Amino acid sequence: MRIGAFTFCIGLVLLLLPGCQREKRDIRPSPPEVAIFGDAGKESALRPGGPINPQPVVRNPYNSSSYDISEGQRLYSWYNCNGCHSNGGGGIGPPLIKTTWIYGGEPANLFDTIVKGRPNGMPSWGGRIPAYQIWQLVTYVRSMNGQEPTSATPLRPDSIETNPQNIVNRVPGQTK
């Protein structure tokens, strides 16, 4: 009698155990198989000398993950992207919250832009930033445009309000 109840409990645990998995987080993932300095983003099929072989499809390994979007948001300020692009609205550099992109808005094109840089301002970050962090930045930039799932996009920044003028006193009669 005890062996049957024990077997039943073990079977129940083994049945329910796979449903308790969390989102997979690779803290230091291995580099992707695509060479960083290769032609990751397809710019145009028109080339001098005739048609060329089709380029492989490059996929962002960090799509739809809230952890990677928040890591991209952290890296965006850490690498001072907001110094040129502000908070996505543009400043010295072009705005990142837009629908039409000069060099393409696909993840591979954004990866290419960060790695290789662009004329008249965008520096090349290839070799300075690991590939997995560039993909996290791409995921964050796409989330600013609403191109990532809203279930994964954070509604608020992960920073704490430090400006005392923005903190409102909710208790009447008390001061700071």
- Give the pLDDT confidence of 125-148 residue by residue, as tens digits: 988 999 889 999 999 998 888 887
- As to burial, measured by CB atoms within 10 angstroms (0-12 exposed, 13-18 middle, 19+ buried), residue 166 is exposed
Round the average pLDDT of the chain to a whole number and report it: 75
DSSP letters for 43-112: --S--TTS--PPPPPP--TTTT-HHHHHHHHHHHHHTTTHHHHTTTT-SSSPPSS-S--SS--SHHHHHH
Mean pLDDT of the 147-154 span = 69
pLDDT of 102: 86
pLDDT of 34: 47
- The residue ranking higher by pLDDT, 60 or 79, is 79
Lowest mean pLDDT among 42-51, 90-99, 100-109: 42-51
- The residue ranking higher by pLDDT, 151 or 76, is 76
Give the Cα separation of 1 and 107 in Å (integer).
59
pLDDT class of 35 with cuts at 50, 70, 90: very low
CATH class assigned to 65-149: mainly alpha
Cβ neighbours of 127 (radius 10 Å): 9
Q: What is the pTM assigned to this prediction? A: 0.60
- The residue ranking higher by pLDDT, 108 or 49, is 108
Which residues fall within 8 angstroms of residue 102, CB to CB, at 6 or more apart?
94, 118
